[in-house]
Amino acid sequence: MKYGFIGLGNMGHFMAKHCIDAGYEMIVSSNTVYQKELDEMVEKGAVKTDSNVEIGKSAERVFLCLPNEDIVEEVIKEIVEVEDSKVREIYDFSTVGPNFSKRQGKNGETKGYAYYDCPIAGGVIGAESGTLSIMIGCEEKEFEKVKEIVSPMGKNIMHAGALGSGSATKMFNNYLGGADLVACCEVMVMAKQLDMDVERLFSIINKSTGRNFATENAIPGFLKNRNFIPGFATDLFYKDINIALQTADELKLPVSIGPATLHAFGATRAMGFGKEHSIAVVKYYEALANVKVNEEKN
């Protein structure tokens, strides 16, 4: 069985390496800035190509880890519509909407391949260590097979439900995570305006009911070292919140938290901080309040 991997970005190149280490016969795209890592994959036996079409002609199972729905759809067309395509299964780790995943699944049924939505959480650190959380959308009877196939890349591999449920779970996870992060940035700036010790405040919150992933992970590090090196970038949160709002619109459900969260990320992007870590939202609130939560440490 040959595998293809398309999308060797910040996380994808680590994921592909884990698959190669697990003994998967891989063909990978050479269209990547991670040339050193790509060369290492080739040394371990991977075949590289600069053509998605060649992956479609060579691999029965294809892994995708791509930026958005438009690119996913374009790549799938390239690999399944090529003459003599060998693709029979597609495992999509991209963050896309649940209805998009359902449409891809139906397209696969008519064209002779299976599509599984397998979005991931855990960031670059999780990808590098092979400990990602992977949320699978598939039929119950298929889950154990899918779990085994993606297992080199993740530690917590969970069945979210039928096709589309994996994408929905990731969407809801990031919707909540984004809202929490924006709220934390608002609180940091308000606390600074009140002349509070912001580090002390969040140490108390982390022992109280206001704690969340942002208070326990992003905020303490940021307060000690004002660092905006991308982990999960502002642009990505903006995209993911948009997916949730588009889904709410399709469901004709009015929501209020999402638009406020999207506004904060959008304003931060407009200030030029889209490529920075999503904690850069604090800069937007600092500008409004004319204060600075903390200073860079030399």
User: Could you list the active site residues?
Assistant: 170
Structure tokens, 72:
């996913």
Residue with tokens 């206001």: 210
CA atoms within 13 A of residue 143's CA, in its CB half-sphere: 16
Residue 74, judged by CB atoms within 10 A of its CB (0-12, 13-18, 19+), counts as exposed
Structure tokens, 157:
């591999």
Q: Report the 10 Å Cβ neighbour count for 256.
A: 7
Cα–Cα distance between 135 and 115 in angstroms, integer?
Answer: 14
Cα–Cα distance between 42 and 20 in angstroms, integer?
Answer: 10
Q: At what angle do helices 69-81 and 98-111 cross, to 10 degrees?
A: 10
Cα–Cα distance between 127 and 137 in angstroms, integer?
Answer: 20
Residues paired with residue 117 on neighbouring β-strands, in sequence order: 92, 137
How far, CA to CA in Å, does 267 sit from each of 114, 151, 212, 287?
40, 38, 23, 11
Torsion, Cα 198 215 238 93, to 10 degrees, reads 150
